[in-house]
Amino acid sequence: MMTIIDRLKLILERVNLTPGNFADKIGVAPATISHILSGRNKYPSAEVMLRLHETYPDIDLNWLLTGEGTLVKDDPDSMFTGSLFGDNAINPAQRTTESENRKENALESAKNDDNVVVKQEIIYKEKPARNIAEIRIFYDDGTYETFTPNK
């Protein structure tokens, strides 16, 4: 048997909202919805149920409270009636041919310009020679030695 928590989770799926966004939408604290869904509060308060019903009047309050009936009222203009992607009288599917939906177009032919000459020039700059002035070796005991080349 479906609990009231299960029914609330089903509503969250149907309206496609996170618990936090759902709480904001119906005007309650996010912690309130979190406590209900986690089972900390076994039953939502009357205020939560009233705000949910005010925000989503298509949801059958009897189903929400008792589990009897269906999620939505028997209202033909209900926001939840029918399938989201299925055919229905209000939104009949419009069939298109396969080529109409294609986004890529074939190229006529590859275009090459063989007459273009690419000129590349490399410039080498010489740097003056560098000489070692000093070498330092550091030891793990905090000491170091310095070596200088003999000139």
What is the tens place of the pLDDT at every residue in 18-50? Answer: 999 999 999 999 998 888 888 888 888 888 888
Question: How confident is the model over 137-149, as a mean pLDDT?
Answer: 91
Tens digits of residue pLDDT in 114-132: 677 778 888 888 888 888 8
- Predicted TM-score (pTM) of the model is 0.48
Mean pLDDT, the chain, rounded, equals 78
Say whether pLDDT at 1 is over 80. Answer: no
Tens digits of residue pLDDT in 62-89: 888 888 888 887 654 444 444 445 444 4
State the residue range of the domain holding 48. Answer: 4-66
- What confidence tier does 146 reach under pLDDT thresholds 50, 70, 90? very high
Give CA separation, 8 vs 56, 109, 128, in Å.
Answer: 12, 59, 78
Please state, in angstroms and rounded to a whole number, the distance separating the CA atoms of residues 97 and 10: 37
Tell me, what's the pLDDT at 136? 93
Q: Considering the domain boundaries, does residue 28 fall inside one?
A: yes
Q: Considering the domain boundaries, does residue 115 fall inside one?
A: no
Alpha helical stretches, state H, 16-112:
19-26, 30-38, 46-55, 61-66
What is the count of structural domains for the chain? Answer: 1
CATH number at residue 16: 1.10.260.40
Q: Considering the domain boundaries, does residue 57 fall inside one?
A: yes
Say whether pLDDT at 140 is over 80. Answer: yes
Q: Considering the domain boundaries, does residue 92 fall inside one?
A: no
Please state, in angstroms and rounded to a whole number, the distance separating the CA atoms of residues 125 and 150: 30
Q: Considering the domain boundaries, does residue 144 fall inside one?
A: no
